[in-house]
Amino acid sequence: MQQKNQTLGDSIQLLPDHIANQIAAGEVIQRPASAVKELLENSVDAGATEIRLIVADAGKSLIQVADNGKGMSETDARLCFERHATSKISQIDDLFHIQTMGFRGEALASVAAVAQVDLKTRRAADEAGTHIEIENSMVVLQEPCAMAQGTSIAMKNLFFNIPARRNFLKSNAAEMRHIIDEFIRVAMAFPQLFFSLSHNGQNVFHLDKGSLKQRIVQVLGNQYNAKLVPVQEQTDYLNIQGFIGKPEAAKKTRGDQFFFVNNRFIRSAYLHHAVMQAFQDLIPADAFPTYVLFIDLQPDQIDVNVHPTKQEIKFEDEKIVYAFVQAAVKHALAQFSIMPSLEFDIDSGIQQLDAVAKPFTPQQQDAARDSGLFRSFTQQHQAHFIEKQPASGNTAGNTSGMQDWKSLLSSTETESTVSAFDWELPKKKWELAENAGLLQLESQYLIAPLLKGCLLIHQQLAHERVLYERYAAAVAGRQMPSQQTMFPVTIDLSAADSALLTEMLADLQLLGYGIEPFGTNAFIIQGTPADLFQGNEKAAIEALLEQYKHFNTDVKFSRREKLIRSLAAQHAIKRGTALSITEMRQLAEDLLRCATPNITPGGQPTFIEFTSDYLFRLFDAR
């Protein structure tokens, strides 16, 4: 056996330190945002009151965090880059009483393994600071330096020594969105500290010290200022505090939901469900409430050493935490009269109204009995019947959709508009009967006669399919016509939405939008697609971003696919929009010209076909 082992040789060997460090770094530093998180948390642990983040090329060429914390000695400055070197843990029991953001001693070692690092630090008691440069986990320079108290650490050329890892990074706009997310999570947890973020010399965030509500409004936008409800519950087991958004602040996409446990941001689908249950019947089933909730409990009741990012934790008794969270949110909603309730006391203002204060005269009683509404509730077989109301010329909630649709129809009749369907089409399976009229049902369905049979068309889903194929042709190179806005519109966005829109600008130009950056997190809308009604450009962009974030949760879609699906869903005519005969026929014809007319991009049917044979059998004709 010994002779055989000597012949084959030993297989297991120890990896060199620089390779082992790069492998370990992959768990902690997955992208620039990962490094941002670790460096910001180190500054918080250092007792800093001012923390500045400076980024270049979305962190690919520079990530620098400067703070006014306690700083490090010369020995500590060098030792902090060693693996598992930490000031937070000295014995095993310390792992169960973690109250700091970092504790493993892996962050700086991982940073030094995948970037060129420049560290400057000084303690208040030291006359001079320490300057250290590191490359490939090796110290290449150490010297004294002059600086104010605190620490500045800059990592340059991320993954310079691992080209394959660098190639897997996304676009600058995408990576910047991840950086903003991590920055917001740390800044939200510590409103008593000053934070700033600049990217390529542009100021993205300047967050002054203040209250939690002020920080939420600073980060998420002024629209939340009047839409926040405080949550405050104290128990022997845990404390819960923070803010929830009123039901009208709920959105169709995730993003404005934050859980912090002992000031550490966490992800928890379980606790999110608790909040959703508290909002049950107050918001639509597909909407997400806004919340920023802080849960404080004894460190030995949780285990934060579950995942390298420390964003997943384990509770000793998660059912108790679930119940407390749900109860706290329900209590807050009820306290501020947001929960639905039965009021038995009539408001004094209502009691002064004529309808309450004055008697119901015989003449008024006779007039009421003669009304159609009275008859529909008192006569048999009339409950379903509602008299026609005079045309008002305005459909509430659908005005802009109708105007967008009508302008689309008019644009297709002009010679300057390129048809979206002038490529060679396959032989049509469905063909409208010539000169046959179409009928609209309930302002959302169309009955379209075919040569044999008919189609029951869902107008919103049908229009979504038409727009999807038109937009797909545009991003493939058939640029859509654009119209200059009469008065350019300026739109201010949150930093996260600004990064998202920046990522889409080139494709939006192909789709007929003329949008340019206009200062920090602001854009100017110079042009819109020819089929978009002028006057609601700002609302259209805001709605597009929300719709895009909804599709952004599905990783199987490309960026362009998410964009055109978002636009198609957003611009499609909505239910309740009345159409003329011409408009109905135009929609039906456009739909049947599509390459895939019978389903939406998401797989829903756009119409149901009733063939002549089916109709014949349906009535059991002989």
The partner residues of 525 in beta bridges, in order of sequence, read 489, 515
- Structure tokens given for 295: 């849960």
Instruction: Note whether residue 1 is domain-resident.
Output: no
pLDDT 10s digits, 381-431: 444 444 444 443 433 334 444 444 444 443 333 333 233 333 334 445 677
Question: Looking at the structure, do residues 265 and 166 belong to the same domain, yes or no?
Answer: no
Exposure string for 403-435, b = 16+ CB within 10 A, e = fewer: bbbbbbbebbeeeeeeebeeeeeeeeebebeee
In-domain check, residue 6: no
Answer yes or no: is 446 within a domain.
yes
Locate 39 and state its tokens: 């460096």
* Domain count for the chain: 4
Q: Pick from 192, 210, 228: which residue ends a domain?
A: 210
| C-alpha span between 448 and 575 (Å, rounded) | 17
Please report the DSSP string for 231-288 in residue order. EEEE-SSEEEEEEEE-GGG-BSS--SEEEEETTEEE--HHHHHHHHHHTTTTS-TT-B
Rounded to the nearest angstrom, the gap between the alpha carbon of residue 602 and the centroid of all alpha carbons in its chain is 20
Q: Are residues 305 and 367 in the same domain?
A: no
| pLDDT at residue 390 in the model | 44
Task: Please tell me whether residues 589 and 449 are part of one structural domain.
Answer: yes
Distance CA 6, CA 9 (A): 5
Q: How far apart are CA 131 and CA 373, in angstroms?
A: 84
59 class by beta-carbon count within 10 Å (0-12 exposed, 13-18 middle, 19+ buried): buried
Q: What angle do CA 470, 476, 479 make, to 5 degrees?
A: 65
Q: Are residues 379 and 425 in the same domain?
A: no
Query: Residue 92: its pLDDT value, please?
Result: 47
Residue 265 and residue 197 share a domain: no
Task: Report the DSSP beta bridge partners of residue 50.
Answer: 194
Q: Which CATH number fits the domain that encloses residue 68?
A: 3.30.565.10
Classify the phi-psi angles of 318: left when phi > 0, otherwise alpha if psi is within -120 to 50, otherwise beta: alpha
Give the helix/strand (H/E) hosting 26. Answer: helix 17-28
Closest CA to 176 of 456, 491, 502: 502
pLDDT given at position 114: 84
For residue 524, the 8-state DSSP code is E
Pull the structure tokens for residue 531. 């089929």
Is the Cβ–Cβ distance between 61 and 157 less than 8 Å? yes
HEC assignment per residue over 49-111 = CEEEEEEEHHHCCEEEEEECCCCCCHHHHHHCCCCCCCCCCCCHHHHHCCCCCCCCCCHHHHH
Instruction: Examine residue 439 and state whether it is found in any structural domain, yes or no.
Output: yes
- Looking at 210, 228, 258, the residue that finishes a domain is 210
CATH number for the domain spanning 453: value is: 3.30.1370.100
Model pLDDT, residue 389: 44
Let me know whether 197 and 309 are in one domain: no
* 231/130 same-domain check: no
431's tokens: 């063909």
* pLDDT at res. 21: 59
Whole-number Cα distances in Å, 494 to 53, 77, 255, 508? 17, 37, 12, 19
CB 464 within 8 A of CB 569: yes
Closest-CA residue to 59 (of 87, 36, 41, 86):
36
Of 191, 210, 229, the one marking the end of a domain is 210
CA atoms of 527 and 429, how far apart (whole Å):
38
pLDDT tens digits, 481-529: 788 877 788 888 888 888 888 888 888 888 888 899 888 788 998 888 8
Cα distance between residue 86 and residue 228, in whole Å = 39
Same domain for 261 and 320, yes or no, is yes
Same domain, 377 and 445: no
Q: Which domain holds residue 376?
A: 354-385
Is there a domain that residue 2 lies in?
A: no
Beta 445-449 vs 482-492: how paired, if at all?
unpaired
User: Are 147 and 120 spatial neighbours (Cβ–Cβ below 8 Å)?
Assistant: yes
Both 108 and 237 in one domain: the answer is no
The one-letter amino acid code at 617 reads R
Stretches in the chain below the pLDDT threshold 70: 1-28, 83-106, 304-312, 337-429, 531-535, 551-557, 620-622
Burial class (CB in 10 A: 0-12, 13-18, 19+), 488: middle
Q: How far apart are CA 404 and CA 395, in angstroms?
A: 14
> Is residue 418 domain-shared with residue 367, that is, in the same domain?
no
Strand-strand pairing, 302-303 and 62-67 = unpaired
Residue 393 domain flag: no
- For residue 371, the model assigns a pLDDT of 52
Residue 60 in any domain: the answer is: yes
**d(Cα 10, Cα 181) in Å, to the nearest integer?**
47
For 478, the token pair is 């058939």
In a domain, 340, yes or no: no
H/E element, 39: helix 32-45
**Tokens for 157?**
């050329």
Asked if 54 and 152 sit in the same domain, the reply is yes
